[in-house]
Amino acid sequence: MNKKDAFKKIRKNSTAISIACVICIFLSILTRTLCIRGNTEYSFLFVFVSVVASVISGRILGIAAEFLYETTYKNLKNRGIKEEKSWFVFPAAFAVFLLSYLPCFLAFYPGIAAYDSYVQIHQIFENSFNDHHPLFHTLMIKAALFVGEKMFQSLNAGIALYVIVQCILLAAVFAYGIYLLHKKGMKTYSFAAMIFIAIYPFNAFMAISVTKDIPFSAFFLLNVLLLIRIVTKGNLKKKIPAAVLLFVSTIMCVLFRNNGKFAIIPLLFALLVSVIAITVFVGNRKEEKKDLVEIKKNMTAVICIVSIGVFAGLISLSIASKALSAQQGDKREMLSVPIQQIARTYVYHKDELDEESKALINEFILYDGADDYNPSISDPVKSKTNTWVAVNKKKEFVKTYLKLFKKYPGDYINAFLALNAGFIDVGDESHAHINESKGQKGLGYVQTKWSETLYERGFFEDSKLPALKRTYGTFANDNAYLKIPVIKYLFMPGIFLWICAALTIYSIKRKNICAVAPLSLIAGYYATMFFGPCVQLRYVYPVMICVPFLLPMIFKEIQNDNGQE
């Protein structure tokens, strides 16, 4: 193939990545302009210039990415590596991952009890439970504290025990993913992925953090791996162990994240549509038709398994809630975006609003809480929100919400973009500072600060490697990753959305129907994040850890599955 033909091929294959890059750059321009100029009004000329700039630069980036893929990744995978027995890969990778967590665990011993852990520990001590945080995760912490106190007469030992169990869970799922890659003949890629996962600093920080998001992340990744494993063509009978594991991991996704069930809805919908499409579709060749029928059977099985898993998870939650007499959590978390939109509109247009709208807003957001509006996080306003209005005055609330949207659509769009800037804009750095408080360390993108209430209850930080803790602290507390040129984008939350977007478009272009399952699950999870309170590492972490395993699947490395475990 001459250079001209080679370039034509690269240009043709780069279409999918180019489209994702164009959308990414366009939304980045909107969010970046919003951050610089405040309440930006998007004029026709501004949008037109932004689109042109996005198309040109996105196309260039797409071609560059495809060229890089053609010259590096394809060469790597075509080295003629023979498929070998993989029984040793799981224990080897498992050991590597556990060892990679050990220094961080010793440095922050007994673990990082930050985020919302203090609230759940308070519930345990008071024996008064609230389902705002997943009850099963709270019970997991309670069991660890009970064992630590009974066996070692130490609450700290309980925290350490929880962290050890969590590290084992996360390492086991990672190791299973590496095993699947190796088993499909990707020896070089699986080794590279193992090393990357082991040295990626966020993995160690998250593994030792006492937060619901990490068990959920492990089960979410397991779900993605199992969807790849089951949906691909191959005899379903030989995939029974994977099917059982998918059932269990689906239940766990529901139990360890309150919005886990919502993330699964798009998966079920996408699979149902795919099954209907395959039923209608008739292949030109018998062999092609046979493969599609096999995939259809596997997708149908996944729909049944996941649906029953969600149902079982919801029943388990109901039983646990009644057994613990748990109070129902406030639903204001789900109103994060509307709260931000209404607050922003009120702040910028207070003097223009009619009295009826003002009255409802002041009843919904108490104590002039709208004045505390922070574009990056809903918590300041949310804490002063009276959700009774949204629940019991639903008709009036919706009417006012839609009336303001009709009059000030730009403010609504801006509020949404500003709140999710970290997810959307690859270069956005607001995610690293939204929780920072003046004079306090440990509230950056990685949170390591313990609540004072934990010290009062008898917990304490007991680092076994203080010098190493200070080194880790530089990375975590000072957001040091932002100072590393180019490499910093491996840590920025925005990059992961656009990797998934590029993979989705690429899959559609290549008619890779097997990619529907994992990508629709990730899309569903993103939808829950977009309507969440802010951008945080622990929120985007489930997607972060899926990317190394998604890449080879999308590029058809593990499409032809023989169904053997």
Cβ atoms 520, 266 nearer than 8 A: yes
CA pair distance 389, 400, nearest whole angstrom: 12
Domain extent listing, the chain: 3-77, 89-329+484-525+534-554, 332-419
Cβ atoms 155, 457 nearer than 8 A: yes
pLDDT at 31: 77
Cβ atoms 419, 378 nearer than 8 A: yes
Write out residues in the chain with pLDDT < 70, as ranges: 1-14, 16, 35-38, 40-41, 65-85, 281-288, 290, 438-439, 554-565
Cβ atoms 325, 521 nearer than 8 A: no
Over residues 22-69, the pLDDT tens digits come to 777 777 777 777 765 567 667 777 778 778 888 887 777 777 766 666
pLDDT at 283: 52
User: Tokens standing for 199?
Assistant: 């040295």
pLDDT at 329: 72
Cβ atoms 41, 413 nearer than 8 A: no
pLDDT at 35: 61
CA pair distance 536, 433, nearest whole angstrom: 10
CA pair distance 486, 197, nearest whole angstrom: 18
Q: Long-range contacts for 178-181 (Cβ within 8 Å, ≥24 apart)?
A: 178/89, 178/90, 178/93, 179/86, 179/89, 179/90, 179/93, 180/225, 180/228, 180/229, 180/549, 180/558, 181/549, 181/552, 181/558
CA pair distance 220, 255, nearest whole angstrom: 12
pLDDT at 337: 92
pLDDT at 50: 79
pLDDT at 199: 94
In a 13 Å sphere around the CA of 533, the CA atoms on its Cβ side amount to 13
The amino acid occupying position 469 is K
Q: What is the pTM of this model?
A: 0.89
pLDDT at 444: 82
pLDDT at 498: 86
